[in-house]
Amino acid sequence: MSQPFAKLPAWADYGLLPLINLIVAFLVAGLVVLLVGESPIDAAVLMVKGAFGSGDGVGYTLYYATNFIFTGLCVAVAFHCGLFNIGGEGQAYIGGLGVSLVGLWLGNFLPWWLTFPLAILASALVGALWALIPAWLQAKRGSHVVITTIMFNFIAASIMVYVLVGVLKPAGSQAPETRVFAEGGQLPGLGWLLDLVGLSMRSAPLNVSFLLALVAAFLVWVLIWRTKLGYEIRTMGFSPKAARYAGISELRIIIITMMISGALAGMMALNPIMGAQHRMQLDFVAGAGFVGIAVALMGRSHPAGIVLAAILFGMLYQGGAEIAFDMPNISRDMIVIIQGLVILFAGALEHMFRPSLQRIFYRLGRAKNRTAAAAIAGGNQ
Amino acid sequence: MDSFTTGLQLFDSTIRLSAPLLLACLAGLYSERAGIFDIGLEGKMLAGAFAAGAVATWFGSAYLALLAAVLVSVALGLVHGFASITHRGNQIVSGVAINFIAAGTTVILGQAWFSQGGRTPSLPNAARFNPINLPGAEAMRGVPVIGPLYYELISGHSILVYLAFLLVPFTWWVLYRTRFGLRLRAVGENPAAVDTAGISVPWLRYRAVICCGVLCGIAGAYLATAQGAGFVKDMTAGKGYIALAALIFAKWRPVQAMFACLLFGFLDAVGIRMQGHPLPLIGEVPVQFMQALPYILTVVLLAGFIGKAIPPKAGGVAYVKER
């Protein structure tokens, strides 16, 4: 069966195809909602209303989106190099150590605009170092980065439980969390941003790390498509053989890419720790590292797509919490299912609809050519 | 004598804890030997455990529960096959997707059907796989050394534990002594050669994925109806990944897989036993360290510091038939 494959126009490749995948994922998720005995349409309405219907809804949606932009970028940068970094969860968790140390120590005597850049550096550094080991093992010892980063998630979780329960917990406290940071360790909110569009944020934790996430997305775009390093990363991702032939050091690129990836994941810790809770709590990442996989796949590893996908997942998180009030059978775990379905349809099954779409475009193209040819022939007579 | 008893109990719990690992590990072996990487062992086990817990609650039969677990797990395996064999999707991405779908669905359905926060109701003994006392165990108990060894260690496990360990020689036999096994190994190394011989690569790989699903289902049923009494949210707790690590550690061979699983089971058992017991010389080891030890060990093993693990050559690569 030799099928003539028309090349899809860019808008279909980057817009239509992901949209179809997304719609299918949501249809299947709707089936689960039906199975639970609720109406999928009511659930969807509740969700959108919860996420965008009020000022604090929008605030929460963008707050969650901030986390997902960071972790999505983390996965995407590694994807460009042909690496699958499942360790975003652990890298973000460990990155919390960097944020907390800056917040606990420097937060006492420095203003926030001085602690913030230092905390960015600290979290990025810790996250990058946590990604360095799997990177080195992949590049040097050939152990698969997927397995090692999964293992490092578990190891990070154990370390953080140990640190939070045994070391950073203030004396006399029962809860496994650090003390609340002083004034200098707290990031200002973005209430003024929502005020501009006439919404009131109230208690929503949206803060300046959202802006940092947008800057990071732009920088990742510059890195991947406008620098020599980005070119080398993409070459390695397309064809390791070609990269080797071109004299690109595999070891260097893998290690640098994974460290950038880990640094992006580590920076995610700023948002919940310094931005929202002003202290480090147990399990503050709450699966955001894994959501990053879905976000990166849906955004097709492009920063602009990732920001949009992150906002969509932010909506799911915030709206999902709202649904749980009205439909007790649908909890946050519904998001995990949607996440899985998005990964399945936008990731593993991304080719499923492509051939039929290509066939449709091919037929359309041929029909257009034929009418054009007929018109020309008609003109000649 | 006291340390002898302690040791026996330690090895006894080692066997109990390594049985699900072994089942999942052998499951992965069938799949990966055929060239289909499977990160989704965890999810299939979890979904199987939930199906077993739910069916055992409704019908009160352990065997029906086992059947349900196998069916659900095979269904998820077929999804993995559909994505990675038929549509040549990324096998790792597909496996990750299955893990999330299983993790979310089990909790949502569990909460909707049983309203106990995502767990299934506690099962009575009649709906579980109970320990079997092997013939003569009671009688031999008094015999020094051999008696307790037989009574504690070998007798008194559920039938699924024996099944898990019997599957080791069986898998060896299938893999190395049957036509199916030969083809299975060939399709993981060089699918083009298998195709040239006129054997369907997709159908062979689908069969491997089904075998994988069956074994993951049994592992899940073991967790929910033999080791535990009902399904608990996230009850696999990373066992699927540890099984995967054991598989790599065993270099994709069945007998070595058993020893790797026993090793990880032993570490788990030691970790549980050592909680709150200070060690001589070192002092009290933090619980978290013992919990992280299997993962740390896996990383060290994977790094090739103890021999190099070479995966099946065509693993993770979808086969494209030449036109």
- Residue-wise pLDDT for A307-354, tens only, equals 999 998 898 888 888 887 888 778 778 888 888 898 898 888 887 888
Q: Is A337 on the interface with B (CB under 8 A)?
A: yes
User: Nearest to residue B289, comparing CAs of A163, A295, A41, A304?
Assistant: A163
Query: Could you tell me if B119 and B231 are in contact, meaning their C-beta atoms sit under 8 angstroms apart?
Result: yes
Query: Could you tell me if B220 and B49 are in contact, meaning their C-beta atoms sit under 8 angstroms apart?
Result: yes
Query: Could you tell me if A36 and B108 are in contact, meaning their C-beta atoms sit under 8 angstroms apart?
Result: yes
A207 three-state secondary structure: strand
Q: Is A136 on the interface with B (CB under 8 A)?
A: no
Candidates B103, B299, B304; nearest CB to A142: B304
pLDDT of residue A292: 92
Q: Is B107 on the interface with A (CB under 8 A)?
A: yes
The arithmetic mean of pLDDT across residues B5-32, rounded, is 90
A positions 237-276 inside 8 Å of B (CB) = none
Give the mutation candidate from A85, A151, A282, A350 for the B interface (greatest B CB count, under 10 A). Answer: A151
Q: Minimum mean pLDDT among A199-213, A240-254, B158-172: which range?
A: A199-213
Do B94 and A141 make contact, defined as CB atoms within 8 angstroms?
no
- B-chain CB neighbours of A331 within 8 Å are 107-108, 111
In chain A, the percentage of residues whose pLDDT exceeds 90 is 43
- A-chain CB neighbours of B103 within 8 Å are 333, 336, 340
Mean pLDDT of chain A: 88
pLDDT band at B278 (very low <50, low <70, confident <90, very high): low
Candidates A159, A333, A351; nearest CB to B88: A351
Nearest-angstrom CA–CA distance, B188 and B114: 42
Above 90 in pLDDT, residue A272? yes
Q: Is B243 on the interface with A (CB under 8 A)?
A: no
- B-chain CB neighbours of A141 within 8 Å are 302-304
Per-residue pLDDT reduced to its tens digit, B55-69: 999 998 889 999 999
Do B83 and A349 make contact, defined as CB atoms within 8 angstroms?
yes
The arithmetic mean of pLDDT across residues A251-268, rounded, is 95
Nearest-angstrom CA–CA distance, B16 and A10: 55
Nearest-angstrom CA–CA distance, B146 and B245: 34
- Taking CB atoms within 8 Å and a gap of at least 24, the contacts of A300-306 are A300/A14, A300/A18, A301/A76, A301/A79, A301/A80, A302/A14, A302/A76, A302/A221, A303/A73, A303/A76, A303/A217, A303/A218, A303/A220, A303/A221, A304/A217, A304/A221, A305/A14, A305/A18, A306/A69, A306/A72, A306/A73, A306/A76, A306/A217
Orientation of helix B254-274 relative to helix B159-177, angle to 10°: 150
Residue spans of the domains in chain A: they are 39-328
Phi, psi of B279 (to 5 degrees): -90, 150
Residue B20 CA, chain-centre distance (Å), reads 4
List b or e across A256-283, with b for residues whose CB sees 16 or more CB atoms inside 10 angstroms. Answer: bbbbbbbbbbbbbbbbbbbbbbbbbeee
B226 three-state secondary structure: helix
pLDDT of residue B323: 56
Per-residue pLDDT reduced to its tens digit, B132-175: 777 777 777 777 777 777 777 777 788 899 999 999 999 999 99
Q: Is A2 on the interface with B (CB under 8 A)?
A: yes
Tokens of B124: 């009575």
SS3 content of chain B, % helix, strand, coil (to 5): 70, 0, 30
pLDDT of residue B280: 65
Tokens of A273: 């720790």
Architecture of the A39-328 domain? Orthogonal Bundle (1.10)
Q: Tokens 């390695």 identify what position?
A: A236
Mean pLDDT of chain B: 86
Give the mutation candidate from A155, A163, A329, A330 for the B interface (greatest B CB count, under 10 A). Answer: A155
Nearest-angstrom CA–CA distance, A282 and A365: 56
pLDDT of residue A182: 86
In chain B, the percentage of residues whose pLDDT exceeds 90 is 41
Q: What single DSSP character describes residue A185?
A: G
User: What is the ipTM, given to two decimal places?
Assistant: 0.88
- Show Cβ contacts of residue A26 under 8 Å, excluding neighbours closer than 6 positions: A338, A341
What is chain A's Cα-based Rg? 23
Q: Minimum mean pLDDT among A357-371, B114-128, B300-314: which range?
A: B300-314
**Position B86: which residue type?**
T
Residues making up chain A, counted from first to last: 381
- Show Cβ contacts of residue B38 under 8 Å, excluding neighbours closer than 6 positions: B27, B28, B31, B32, B80, B91, B95, B209, B212, B244
- A-chain CB neighbours of B248 within 8 Å are 147
List b or e across B229-243, with b for residues whose CB sees 16 or more CB atoms inside 10 angstroms. Answer: bbbbbebbebbbbbb
Do B108 and A351 make contact, defined as CB atoms within 8 angstroms?
no
pLDDT band at B308 (very low <50, low <70, confident <90, very high): low
pLDDT of residue B64: 92
Per-residue pLDDT reduced to its tens digit, A60-92: 999 999 999 999 999 999 999 999 999 999 999
- B-chain CB neighbours of A338 within 8 Å are 104
Other beta carbons within 10 angstroms of residue A365's beta carbon come to: 13
pLDDT of residue B279: 67
Q: Minimum mean pLDDT among A182-196, B282-296, B303-317: which range?
A: B303-317
